Structure 1
């Protein structure tokens, strides 16, 4: 199929404008953070996020300009808003965590600049999500709906929980504090993450019609199971905080703040799955 170059006016559309801003701010945040020493796991995670979404945004902008959406084996109605919403969540997570996990004596102007650029990238991604949701129903897909955006948040929170789990595994007293409930909770987080990720990939791959089971009923089943599993996760996280020694409750220490961050993330994820379940049940009843 011949490649047809788009007109220059394609780059002057509001959507193209915010994507160019996303590229600029992602690049600036990555460049400023890359010059800081020493490296840490969360710093590498932030740099990966900025670089990864810079690449995805550039590819989407290029595809939109060259106009070969029809030869991409993905749902173009769902792909851009999925990337934009996930990019917004990753940028706001990096903006909040980057200053927290950097030592106070290392908060140089470059670190502050990287945080500011990450916040600006977040605002640009949110603007793109808003512009896509303003399009007509024929131009947007399932991921532009509230259940679709909740799926993106579930995948993001699942990534965050996995990162927090890996951080806890690196703590010196990890071995003596683990219990069967800890590992059972970790398995629940992974299972819920895989269910949400699988659902999102099915939608992005435009494979809903090839699903062997009714997709709306499958969503209800997944959401119901995820709500039950995340109730266990939330209870485990809250219990972990309640049994902490009083002298360990120090939020200015990133290591000691991990249980609180994990608990807040778990509760927000449980809320997201609960709201998603309500939407899924409503969709199933409307089609019945």
Structure 2
């Protein structure tokens, strides 16, 4: 039986989600009114805004009708993970649209960028509100290691998009790097799926200990990539005298930066995981 819960729309998180729905709707409406622009970056921006709008609206409806409590998933983990993902997606879309498609005299495009950055701020605040506080009992994805898992998976997706445009198959070392990106991405994605699907209790080994092993392994693997990737990729794509936005050298630089960024994320993830397992005193 459906029970309407108006309180879900009046609490701070509910208000933020309503604003996110409105702002994302305004953003993609402004962009669509300008007209379709070809290219994968434009498609990514539109997908990000439409996806975040749709999922946030579904979350509002499910919570307002109390159907969220009847779903066979960890709802808090799902909403927190989505807020983190939406923060990253909207931030990326905001930056890409500002860099590639906005000009000084483009009023509608500038307005779209403003609303997009406001939406990013709203989702970031939601992450802060839903994140687990010290000593608070919550789902894994509400903790810092859980949010980092979403971040790691998202950064890996950005790496895959850029890698696909490069001829990395020329060197076995670059193939190793892509294999490491893929392996660590799959591990992070599995952790997210198992958590949202409430399957951690069925895990045949202590999940926290397995997570630490996976994090340490990911750090070691990413260290090898941090050395091997720049060494080979800049031999394959040396800096040219003229380099457009999507030239091979620029893509190589982006992937290198994302590699070091994810390495730092995995190190922080490992530190937090050690702290939660070995240095947290049970209440």
Aligned: 1:65 with 2:64: yes
Give the TM-score, by structure 2 length. 0.88
Alignment of 1:115 with 2:113, yes or no, is: yes
Give me the TM-score of the superposition, normalised by structure 1. Answer: 0.87
Deviation readout 1:75-125 (Å, 9 max, x if unpaired):
0221111111110011111112223344x7798333323322221110010
Return the match for 2:163 from 155, 162, 165.
165
Q: Summarize the Cα distance change of 1:245–1:161 in structure 2 as closer, same or farther, 3 Å threshold.
A: closer
Instruction: Indicate the SS of the match to 2:212.
Output: helix
1:142 corresponding residue in structure 2: 140
Distance 1:93-1:240 versus aligned 2 partners, 3 A rule? farther
Q: Which residue of 1 aligns with 2:16?
A: 18
Q: Which runs of 5 or more structure 2 residues have no equivalent in the other structure?
A: none
**Counterpart in 2 of 1:180?**
172
Q: Deviation at 1:200?
A: 0.9
Match of 2:189? 197
CA distance in 2 between partners of 1:149 and 1:125 (Å): 13
Q: What residue ranges of structure 1 are gaps of 5+ in the alignment?
A: 169-173
1:261 is aligned, of 239, 251, 254, to 254
Quick one: distance in 1 between partners of 2:231 and 2:182?
20
Q: Which moved more, 1:184-193 or 1:276-285?
A: 276-285
Tell me how large the CA RMSD over aligned residues is: 2.6
- Summarize the Cα distance change of 1:218–1:134 in structure 2 as closer, same or farther, 3 Å threshold: closer
Q: How far has the Cα of 1:285 moved from its partner?
A: 2.4
Say if 1:111 and 1:239 are closer, same or farther in 2 by CA, change over 3 A: farther
Distance in 2 (CA, whole Å) between partners of 1:46 and 1:153 is 18
Q: What is the CA distance between 1:276 and its match in structure 2?
A: 0.9
Q: Which residue of 2 aligns with 1:171?
A: none
In 2, the alpha carbon distance for the partners of 1:107 and 1:218 equals 54
**Residue of structure 1 in register with 2:211 after alignment:** 219
Distance 1:238 1:184 in 2: 13
SS at match of 2:191: helix
1:96-107 matches, within 5 Å, as 96-102=95-101
C-alpha displacement at 1:28, in angstroms? 2.0
Shift of 1:215: 0.2
Change (3 A) 1:276 1:235: same
C-alpha separation in 2, matches of 1:59 and 1:90: 18
